[in-house]
Structure 1
């Protein structure tokens, strides 16, 4: 139903299964009592429950945390999103403004959250296609030709990804490295790296496969990784705020190639 009737029915009336916090009454979180059922779980486990509505084992939560720690939690101020946080710190903006601006820029297609969505979408489609008797090399090459890239494979400047080994080792220790999506991700990586395209499996591809094996779809994975960069972003904002104002990577005027109008005398 569309139109005014829909808005009339929604006025002062919101249907939700997510939760409620009526004053003086139990706080509900996806149908559970916050103080009775959820008071002793970790913050990260609460986030995962809020996103999916599912309960996860401690080892699964450790895997999800390891993915974010190992792959993107770097306080490197030259990274595009961390740079925004550093600029906010050097400009004496607030931590929340700087962090949220940096997180917003993390929704990038090549390195950010859009790449994660595309990576998990690809590996899930690949598994379904091969399950339905499609040839793996044929599926991969058709996808590559159509999209001109495969998220989760390839890396600028380098032909290796140093994050793969520690992430895979962590997953193995947790007993969560043997799923079908992970096996397929490496199989595709072997095929692409030995082809003329020379595309290696990268950390984004392995992360997506690990999460797919834990039952995440692309939308859940998107929400699960929204805050992942924050562990690197916040220290960059703090670092710049603690140093002299305006000193984060300044450029002298003579380094700028100005091609506009000459200086005018007023």
Structure 2
């Protein structure tokens, strides 16, 4: 048998050949559409919110309406109608070039997926705050926790923010929590303690990603689940920027002259 066949999960492929296996659910023609044991048309439509459905689809857990409403508010905090924001650039460029809205929004969602910000940093934020809480429970002071992590990795995921100081979105979400009567948990409380220390010592503080992760960790969600829950959170801001660019004359979003590009590469040369 060829070596490349030996090194592949051949038996597993054969087992799943021409079959789609799902533990989530699906459409049973003539009976209904099922999702984690719920009949979607009978149990969910008109009974839960879309954001509760997001939780169910991505985590298999159906939360109460308050948590769904919290996530909806959280999405609004991600969806700013400002074309200066890096991911919103994609949607505006699609609009100004008369591309389809789906292509603009999809490319913007992809641009928001980075190991430095947005969805891509959520697992690291979760790892940090979960580890920090274990250290605090073991008796470590906040100062020790911060110094240890800065010494080991030279970063504190979930803290600091480019350009601006502070994060107005956290204040808004705290207001939402009070309105929904959602109490603070251990991860979130520690996140604020660390933030207070950083403000005093480093003039930096908790950012929105760090807040989201700490809050959702207190409700039993893992880092990868948080990443999935906010995977499309920027969509509405992208749609707004696409529409605005589309309604203006074609090509008017950030047009450039050749002279605007500063080239620093090799000199012109003859090619064979």
Q: Common fold, TM-score beyond 0.5?
A: yes
Report the counterpart of residue 34 of structure 1 in structure 2: 40
Shift in Å, 1:126? 1.2
1:132 pairs with 111, 135, 138, which one? 138
Report the counterpart of residue 89 of structure 1 in structure 2: 95
2:85 pairs with 79, 83, 104, which one? 79
Shift in Å, 1:262? 5.8
Give me the TM-score of the superposition, normalised by structure 1.
Answer: 0.91
- Which whole-Å CA distance do the structure 1 matches of 2:31 and 2:100 have between them? 35
User: Superposed, which structure 2 residues align to 1:235-246 within 5 Å?
Assistant: 235-246=240-251
Give me the TM-score of the superposition, normalised by structure 2.
Answer: 0.89
Report the counterpart of residue 199 of structure 1 in structure 2: 204
Corresponding position: 1:233 with 2:238: yes
RMSD: 2.1
| Length, aligned pairs only | 262
- Which whole-Å CA distance do the structure 2 matches of 1:107 and 1:7 have between them? 30
**Are residues 126 and 158 of structure 1, via their aligned partners in 2, closer, same or farther at CA, if it must alter by over 3 Å?**
same
Q: Mean alpha-carbon deviation: is it higher for 39-48 or for 91-100?
A: 39-48
- Which whole-Å CA distance do the structure 2 matches of 1:194 and 1:188 have between them? 10
Deviation string for 1:231-263 (max 9, x for gaps)? Answer: 101111111112111111112233222346469
Deviation string for 1:95-144 (max 9, x for gaps)? Answer: 11111111011112333211223222221221122223334322222212
Q: Secondary structure at the match of 2:32?
A: coil
Shift in Å, 1:2? 5.9
Q: Secondary structure at the match of 1:97?
A: helix
2:74 pairs with 67, 77, 101, which one? 67
Q: State the 4+ residue runs in structure 1 displaced beyond 4 angstroms.
A: 259-264
Shift in Å, 1:230? 0.5
Shift in Å, 1:184? 0.5
1:180 pairs with 186, 194, 200, which one? 186
Q: Mean alpha-carbon deviation: is it higher for 222-231 or for 37-46?
A: 37-46
Deviation string for 1:131-165 (max 9, x for gaps)? Answer: 23334322222212222211211122333222222
